[in-house]
Amino acid sequence: MRLRPTRFGVAFLGLVVLTLIGCINYGLSLGYGLTFLLGGVWTVTAAQATRLARTLHLTLRAPDEGAAGRACGLPVTLHQEGAAVTARVQGRVGRARAALTLDLPAGGSASGTLAFPPLPRGRHRLEDVEVSAFDALGLWAASLPVPGSPEWLVPPAPEANAPAPPTLAAGRGEEGSRVAGQEDFAGLRPYVPGDAPRLISWRHTARTGALVTREFDAPAGQAWALDWDETRGAGDEEARLSRLAAWVTAAQAAGVPFRFSLPGTVQPVAAGEAQVRAARRALALYGAPPTAPQASVAVTRPPLPGPALRFSLLALAAALLPLFLRQPVWNTALVGGVLLYTGLRTQASGRLPPLPGALLLLLALLGGLGLNAAYGTLLGAEAGTALLALLTALKAAETRTVRDARLLGLLGLFLTSTHFFLDQGPLTAGHSVLASGLLLAAAARWVSPAETAPSSPLWPRARLGVTGRLLVLALPLAGLLFALFPRPDGPLWQLPVRQSATTGLADEISAGEYSDLAQSGAVAFRADFSGALPPPEERYWRGPVYETYDGLRWGQVRGAFYPADVRPLAGAPTWSYTLTLEPNGKPWLLTLDVPVQPAPGTGLTGAFQSFTPRPSGARTRSAWQSRPARLGVGDRPERLEFNLQLPSAPQARNPRARALAASWRTLAPEARVRSALRHFAEGNFAYTLSPPTLPEVNRIDAFLFGTRQGFCEHYASAFTFLMRAAGVPARIVGGYQGGEINPNGDYLIVRQRDAHAWTEVWLAGQGWVRVDPTAATAPARVRADLPTALARPGATTPGERTALDALRLRFDALQNSWNIWVVGYDGAQQRSLLARLGVREVGSPTYLLGVAGLAGLALLPALLAMRRAALPQDPARRALAELAQRLGLPRAPGETAGAYAERAARQFPAQAERLDRVARQFNALRYGPAPSAQAQRELEREVRAVRRRER
């Protein structure tokens, strides 16, 4: 048996390898799962094709008598007793090849004709005959060679309008001589193979038991003389042979006896089928037969069947559904419109014209320009997938062949894998499995000729069921590879996946930035502590640090000053936690003040801001240790001077705020800080998400002495201005404060609405000290949560949770577990798992042997399922098939149980008695009046008692 992937199977494997490389480079854990699931399907279908091929039996017959120059067809019959299968028979005659694809029902047969182009005169033999079984998806072809190919002769084509053949003159023999003919009975002779059944004397045969043939004769003058010499005027050698062929055909039709002669061959006068057959054989083999001309055969492609193509379009639309919800509306309308028009064309039976190629090219160009304008690039995850979706839809519009339809399925699978760039949640995982199942079912429809028939249903439940079973059988191998396939800690190459901005902290802030974030309940990150959680007043998650101010916006310093000066406090607690950060496309990381053991691949700026040099567009997990410390005690004077600067523009001078701050300059720095905080606590300030709009001129004055309503960025901005004006170095720190404890997993959920801004002031001997002016107005913002701070600013505990809150937290716990064990499964977790299993490193001999052994166990359910499916559906026939397997002696197609038992007994005489009992029990069970379960069990017991053939 020869097992090889089809062209579609090779392309499918290429897709699996391509997606695997992408998952490795971009760390798409869920992408690994889908890739290994598809790889498992590719492997399982190989076993399916192998099993199905072993159940096939081929019967070939020589073609009916033809002639040179005429099309030749070999009758083919395929039989099998297992599950339904699509099979192909192919062979070669000379240089001409032919193939025939048949659909075999479960336990049934199918027949067809292996058609060859016109063959030249001579002897021909069907060579290189193969029968191949395809798996349900057409990924593999398992081929078996077929011995004993038929051989036949092709005589020359009879000449059209040939002259009348010459008659054998009576004078050439004795007077009154007679020759074989059809007029008068001449006697009986022994039967010769080839004699016509109508000439056999059946009465004599019944009396004696011997076949005899009746002979007739006629006057010699009525016979024809079909001699080579009589064809001189016909032309070349082949023309003369064609004339003789025409005369033989005429003699056969008229029933006239004839004499036949060729150089080196003479047949005496005779009549009948044997005489005709001998003459045609001599004509076919005379001399050197001509070489077959290379005739060009025009291949006409029928239109693709509507239901199959519509189902492929439906599966493709299902795969594109998440993209429809993310890309621009106009691109969704364009893609959906093209797919809908293409589907309507298949329904309209030619009434709708195809989209012109020039129009498709124009749509691709305009779509690319529009997406580039919308995203600013065509290389990002969102822009790239949107462009690929458009191109795939345009490809669907020009689909003309089965190869094009299969390509649509591969493109749909690739697009399904790109969803993981944007989300790796459970819903995306479920959608990817569902979309893959539909796309594979669509691919399965292009394997079988019956499935592509015009009458095939739009919704192929059988194909969906088969595809679903394949996915289930591939799950064990996919799970094994997901857990044990090597996962590198870094990408293969540096090619960042750009994507549009997501909700999160900004590079610059002004009044209103953080209050906008407070409207979002999206998760920013989760923190899972290995010990006790820090108290609420210490849950400040440090992010970007804003040190420049132009009167309207605060920005970050672009450039490094010097290494961070961190001095941990003696006796302060150390908090160990794992941070699961949602994708935000930013380089900063959110950590507690201040990390004493940064995660691998991260750093700490001079402003004590944790960062990663390569921001990721995917969810990331990292382990941290933080501890309260003195920050920047020894900061350089130039750095401190920089954090005293205020804008000099007239519209940003804020004279009233400067005057207030100047009144504190006689105080110690700590007293200046306390004075500013007292101003906020006693100045009738209000904490709100919807403060009045502040003017662009003297904005700080307008807030401090006018509106007195704001969110955290209003207070942090005004406080930092006052401190700088009072001669205290100050800056704004952005990040998140607080978090919600989830009792279902004892971890902290920090949402976008927890975004917060506070101030850091530099005090001699203490360094940078955190000061939160918002807490002076709304203590609940730090001690409770945002909703409590808005409703009861002075509260110290959060409000009671409702039943809906409890349900939401339980769902978030499931999401967190998914993130840890599926999305966050990486090389470190894999190495930890292998260490618990006693494997030291990936790639070691123990690792390789273990993976090989476990892979065999993972494939065992699939192998058993395929073996069972290949057995006959009928229990009695299944027992007979098991008998053939035990003996290693296949049954011939159509061979009865009794005949098979006799043949097997001759080869295994020691088991003849048992084989006879098996045959009798089978016949009683199959053809008896009342078959019972007991009889079936007895048959199976007898079969199991047959000794296996020693190999």
Q: Which residues are catalytic?
A: 712, 756, 772
Measured at the CA of 20, the angle between CA 16 and CA 24, to 5 degrees, comes to: 175
Whose CA is closest to 130, among 193, 65, 76, 211? 76
Directed axis angle between helix 426-444 and helix 29-53, to 10°? 30
Dist. CA 581–CA 577, nearest whole Å = 12
Dist. CA 87–CA 102, nearest whole Å = 5
Tokens of residue 821, six digits: 């064990």
Question: Nearest 5°: phi and psi at 141?
Answer: -130, 120
Q: What is the DSSP letter of 595?
A: E
Measured at the CA of 918, the angle between CA 916 and CA 920, to 5 degrees, comes to: 70
Question: Please, are residues 161 and 22 in contact by the beta-carbon 8 Å criterion?
Answer: no
Question: Please, are residues 398 and 354 in contact by the beta-carbon 8 Å criterion?
Answer: yes
Whose CA is closest to 733, among 762, 767, 764, 771? 771
Dist. CA 8–CA 408, nearest whole Å = 12
Strands (E), 707-860: 709-710, 730-737, 740-742, 747-751, 755-763, 767-771
Dist. CA 390–CA 364, nearest whole Å = 7
Tokens of residue 805, six digits: 């809150």
Strands (E), 628-678: 629-631
Indicate the helix (H) or strand (E) that contains 24.
helix 7-26
The secondary structure of the chain in percent helix, strand, coil, rounded to multiples of 5, reads 45, 20, 35
User: What is the SS3 assignment for 755?
Assistant: strand
Helices (H) and strands (E) in the chain, counts: 28, 35
Tokens of residue 453, six digits: 């028939």
Q: What is the DSSP letter of 64?
A: P
Task: Encode burial over 301-326: b for 16+ CB neighbours within 10 A, e otherwise.
Answer: eeebbbbbbbbbbbbbbbbbebbbeb
User: What is the SS3 assignment for 788?
Assistant: helix
- Contacts of range 201-210, beta carbons closer than 8 Å, 24 or more positions apart: none
Residues in the chain: 951
Tokens of residue 202, six digits: 């059946």
Could you give the C-alpha distances from 717 to 10, 40, 676, 695, 700, in angstroms and in order?
Answer: 62, 57, 12, 15, 8
Burial-class residue 196 by CB neighbours within 10 Å (0-12, 13-18, 19+). exposed
CA 716 and chain centroid, separation:
52
Task: Encode burial over 857-867: b for 16+ CB neighbours within 10 A, e otherwise.
Answer: ebbeebbebbe
Q: What is the DSSP letter of 200?
A: B
Which residues, at least 6 apart from 913, have a Cβ–Cβ distance to it below 8 Å? none
Q: What is the four-CA torsion angle of 838, 843, 848, 854, rounded to 10 degrees?
A: 60
Burial-class residue 916 by CB neighbours within 10 Å (0-12, 13-18, 19+). middle
